[in-house]
Structure 1
């Protein structure tokens, strides 16, 4: 086979040497437009895991790379005059030129043909010249090939919000250092790491508007470098900043990161297949150091697929399938990381220890327990700091032993002190009779109150008969309803130390439907009741009942129903009240522009659309005891173009905070069947993060939080104050107690009747941990370390 690679960067070179090693008879040519060893940039970074992958792919190349690496374990975060240091991260830095030299030398050793100073204008002519069977397009960020065949590759190219410049310095840094500086114009940050014995990379980044306000747009390269030297003078200790891109003039040295993603990676041009690799196919923000990693792993996978398949077409199809999925995962993490750095100002109200923790866990790939594995002393110290502050803020005396996981620290909301940060989500049970709750709800809520959570939320409870989702939903609109709820609330208060709350709502256009198991969102066959919404709508097109627009009289009655239910909730003894303004129900239908088409004072702008929900909330707050908390559940993202966005969610939260809301419960979606949500673990936590740290109000995170590790990370980083856990509590009422035992936290209080179960569970889980440790093989990091030692 004849293979030609367009682009002599890491992707093209590494693929070429791997293929030549596997198939010495193949003719492989790499065509590069630059001169030999020309490159821009300073150092690149790999994790120990990536090094392990390189060892497995080609040991001689890996050995040379390992010997040239500068290795470090520590990360330092410098913020507001404090330095927070953590270890065990396992990174390596190498100069980009040195890496290319190693790959070029290995290619020459194996017989790959390297052609330099040749600019490829036409891939078809190039393929014909070399009689190629396969063309690899690894021609970088500004790939001509990707642009030529854009109809096939369908690239998405997005210029991001920050400007950054890639500089170097002769100062050597012992740790990967992140330095954050506030100026009169805004915040700047430096990403700093040593990559050889004499030089460190020094990337400086700031939002576009801050860059312009500081005047950097108008400065020459020399002036801009001097400005940066002055800003970071105490970190540089007299060492200069250097550029190796002298060909760039003035503001062009500052670039905006281009996020690139392609739907397809293989194009058949009628003559030969053309395959994307590296930056031509995708990018990942430099804050997680994954651009070169992705390029090398593209090369590994394509070489593997071509060795595994006899025919070229299935090999390329398999490569595209496997790599696209893996890249999506890493790009998701990279996006989280990138957005954190784009919005540093959001987190600058945090104290230095929490700011540093938030930065370390920004991608959501590095969890609380991952950090503990890397540096147990750092995590233990942070947990003590967090616990001491939590007890102080709750007005409680701190225990002598502050070895407390963040999810088990107390939280005070008004006069209510929650024993920990776990909430049982309100989950519809469809088991009431004429709105009256009974034994099922007693068992369901009681079991979960005994299961360790601090707050158990009853399902959405309807404020009138025509506010119900189904005929089986609970209500708070007759004395019988109040008495039935009082029986459950009193039982929970008597038998547990959990608080209990109720979520009040009105189904709106999503009402008069069957129970979930009989056809979710499907209208009743008979016995339907009229529906109202912000505007006329039919939730399921051609299926659902059509809801009419609420009139002023309707709105007055609905407001009165919510107030009556609020008074009833107090009469039932609930500790917490939540107003449901999410998921397309009545109050949500006013907030979302997808469902609110009104032209009166309750439609149009976001402020107008929130007017009625805020009016209802204010009336409820006035009727609810001042010492008891109230939360509001919102849909922070409609997942539909033209709908509510996370930007809107911040403003919605501000409005409810000003009206007296204590906590914003950040959910999303279920407003329109046109939604296209992006699911994943903790997928809604970023909404709670934004609302908490931009709107300045406590939040509750919900959605695919199913491990203690998730909850600990969310709470510890200040992404939310509470974590609502739903479906895991359906499977295991004692989820909170079980997760405590799973992470080895033994200080949780169990019901005394269940203490033998606690002891057995903790013994079993400890045995599992010991067996796992004893049976574990060498990790890729350990393989790399042993190779380096040899």
Structure 2
């Protein structure tokens, strides 16, 4: 049997297969509220046959959005809007659905990518950003405010409140976003964190906020639902965050009850030099997997079914996540199952599309 299509358990949540749809920002919300775009986008992805769908990064406070169009989960209105979307998705798909909770830190207040993604001044709809230290991401950006201890406590509470909302929405999983140069990653990396208090300096201190937020979210999210963490394994910049430190963080998270580690990389510094190619991040996941006893998810230019299968068979990771590849081919799991000789669930409305050469592809029970 294909390893990609064997079940796996995250905490107490069992998934039909090891394909995850990674969180993908859509920059299509209305003041944090999910819109008809999210209903269409999540609806068709929910019919893909993947084992898990993780909703895009949801900001835990308005100042934590990357763009003014980011999804949020910080008040009753944003909760209700997402709940309306999820109700429709669940009517037609049994796929487990999680959400990524995030704060953009110094990378907030930017325009949407298709308009260049440049920093937005307040007069352009932007806002004052914040960070561990008063160091901008780009020299042309406004300087972020160094977070006071009081503001750190507010942000921690915002993560807690959003996790409670996620549970009320019936979401099956929470992923804490500590990657891609956003706030928690900014605290982790010595390139962006130059604090001299208990949140800066040593590795232990730089990991403190991520561990505190994970611990608080884990405490308020039901014990039978998994909480995982997305990390950037390396900054791809000399002297920055690297995979050795990521292994230390992963061990600490596992000890706190983390259900899985989702391994990405980069995003913290414009100086990054990334050698992008197939499997370019898988080696980081493989090293982390050797060091922890919890599932590890690999992501990044994994595009072919046999490529994904080989990663799992060689035990470099426990699960595969797809993002852009899933947008390009929303039925990727169907095609992967056909190529690897596996079966998967599909909506009964689509059963008649099963090609003759792969009859039996869909589980019709």
Question: Which category of TM-score, normalised to the shorter sequence, fits these structures?
Answer: over 0.9
Which residue matches 2:274?
Answer: 677
Which residue matches 1:585?
Answer: 182
Question: Separation in 2 of the partners of 1:700 and 1:523?
Answer: 34
Question: Separation in 1 of the partners of 2:135 and 2:340?
Answer: 51
How many Å apart are 1:738 and its aligned residue?
A: 1.8
Which residue matches 1:419?
Answer: 16
Question: Separation in 1 of the partners of 2:357 and 2:282?
Answer: 30
CA distance 1:647–1:756, shift in 2 (3 Å): same
Does 2:336 correspond to 1:747?
no
Question: Separation in 1 of the partners of 2:70 and 2:201?
Answer: 32
Question: Separation in 2 of the partners of 1:443 and 1:734?
Answer: 15
How many Å apart are 1:497 and its aligned residue?
A: 2.6
Please list the CA deviations of residues 668-723 of structure 1 after superposition, one character each: whole Å capped at 9, or x if unmatched.
00100100112110111111111111133311101001111121111222211111
Does 2:325 correspond to 1:759?
no
Which residue matches 1:445?
Answer: 42
How many Å apart are 1:756 and its aligned residue?
A: 2.2
CA distance 1:521–1:624, shift in 2 (3 Å): farther
Q: Kindly tell me the number of residue pairs found equivalent between the two proteins.
A: 358
Which residue matches 1:463?
Answer: 60
User: Which consecutive residues of structure 1, in runs of 5 or more, have no partner in the other structure?
Assistant: 1-403, 764-790
Which residue matches 1:28?
Answer: none
Contact 2:101 2:159 (8 Å CA) reproduced: yes
Given candidates 110, 127, 142, the residue that maps to 1:529 is: 127
Question: Separation in 1 of the partners of 2:293 and 2:138?
Answer: 36
The structure where helix makes up a greater share of residues is: 1
Q: Comparing both chains, which one has the higher relative contact order based on Cα–Cα distances under 8 Å and sequence gaps of 6 or more?
A: 2
Question: Separation in 2 of the partners of 1:735 and 1:463?
Answer: 31
Which residue matches 2:257?
Answer: 660
Please list the CA deviations of residues 57-107 of structure 1 after superposition, one character each: whole Å capped at 9, or x if unmatched.
xxxxxxxxxxxxxxxxxxxxxxxxxxxxxxxxxxxxxxxxxxxxxxxxxxx
Which residue matches 2:111?
Answer: 514
How many Å apart are 1:530 and its aligned residue?
A: 1.2
Question: Separation in 2 of the partners of 1:634 and 1:624?
Answer: 20
Contact 1:452 1:734 (8 Å CA) reproduced: yes
Contact 1:533 1:547 (8 Å CA) reproduced: yes
Q: How does 1:182-201 map to 2 (within 5 A)?
A: none
Which residue matches 1:397?
Answer: none
Please list the CA deviations of residues 267-304 of structure 1 after superposition, one character each: whole Å capped at 9, or x if unmatched.
xxxxxxxxxxxxxxxxxxxxxxxxxxxxxxxxxxxxxx
CA distance 1:602–1:516, shift in 2 (3 Å): same
Alignment partner of 1:621: what SS?
Answer: helix
How many Å apart are 1:761 and its aligned residue?
A: 7.5
Q: How does 1:136-535 map to 2 (within 5 A)?
A: 404-524=1-121, 526-535=124-133
Question: Separation in 1 of the partners of 2:340 and 2:348?
Answer: 19
Does 2:319 correspond to 1:722?
yes
Question: Separation in 2 of the partners of 1:744 and 1:556?
Answer: 49
How many Å apart are 1:746 and its aligned residue?
A: 4.9
Q: How does 1:8-47 map to 2 (within 5 A)?
A: none
Given candidates 289, 300, 308, the residue that maps to 1:703 is: 300
Contact 1:582 1:634 (8 Å CA) reproduced: yes
Which residue matches 2:137?
Answer: 539
Alignment partner of 1:695: what SS?
Answer: coil
How many Å apart are 1:534 and its aligned residue?
A: 0.7
Which residue matches 1:322?
Answer: none
CA distance 1:744–1:696, shift in 2 (3 Å): closer
Question: Separation in 2 of the partners of 1:572 and 1:697?
Answer: 26
Larger gyration radius, structure 1 or structure 2? 1
Please list the CA deviations of residues 454-490 of structure 1 after superposition, one character each: whole Å capped at 9, or x if unmatched.
1111111000111111010010011111112222323
Question: Separation in 2 of the partners of 1:441 and 1:582?
Answer: 23
Does 2:237 correspond to 1:644?
no
Question: Separation in 2 of the partners of 1:422 and 1:746?
Answer: 13
User: Which consecutive residues of structure 2, in runs of 5 or more, have no partner in the other structure?
Assistant: 360-365
Which residue matches 2:159?
Answer: 562
Question: Separation in 2 of the partners of 1:491 and 1:745?
Answer: 31
Alignment partner of 1:696: what SS?
Answer: coil
Please list the CA deviations of residues 400-453 of structure 1 after superposition, one character each: whole Å capped at 9, or x if unmatched.
xxxx21100001112211000001111110000010002111111111110111
Contact 2:5 2:342 (8 Å CA) reproduced: no
Question: Separation in 1 of the partners of 2:266 and 2:132?
Answer: 17
TM-score by length of 1: 0.44
How many Å apart are 1:521 and its aligned residue?
A: 4.3
Question: Separation in 2 of the partners of 1:612 and 1:635?
Answer: 16
Alignment partner of 2:82: what SS?
Answer: helix
Contact 1:637 1:669 (8 Å CA) reproduced: yes
TM-score by length of 2: 0.95
Which residue matches 1:603?
Answer: 200
Question: Separation in 2 of the partners of 1:536 and 1:508?
Answer: 11
How many Å apart are 1:733 and its aligned residue?
A: 1.3
Contact 1:468 1:512 (8 Å CA) reproduced: yes
Please list the CA deviations of residues 224-246 of structure 1 after superposition, one character each: whole Å capped at 9, or x if unmatched.
xxxxxxxxxxxxxxxxxxxxxxx
Which residue matches 1:549?
Answer: 146
Alignment partner of 1:426: what SS?
Answer: coil
CA distance 1:637–1:568, shift in 2 (3 Å): same
Alignment partner of 1:662: what SS?
Answer: coil
Contact 1:490 1:573 (8 Å CA) reproduced: no
Question: Separation in 1 of the partners of 2:346 and 2:162?
Answer: 33
How many Å apart are 1:652 and its aligned residue?
A: 1.0
Question: Separation in 1 of the partners of 2:342 and 2:210?
Answer: 43
Question: Separation in 1 of the partners of 2:90 and 2:67?
Answer: 29
Structure 1 runs of 4+ aligned residues shifted over 6 Å read none
Question: Separation in 1 of the partners of 2:97 and 2:208?
Answer: 29
Question: Separation in 2 of the partners of 1:675 and 1:643?
Answer: 10
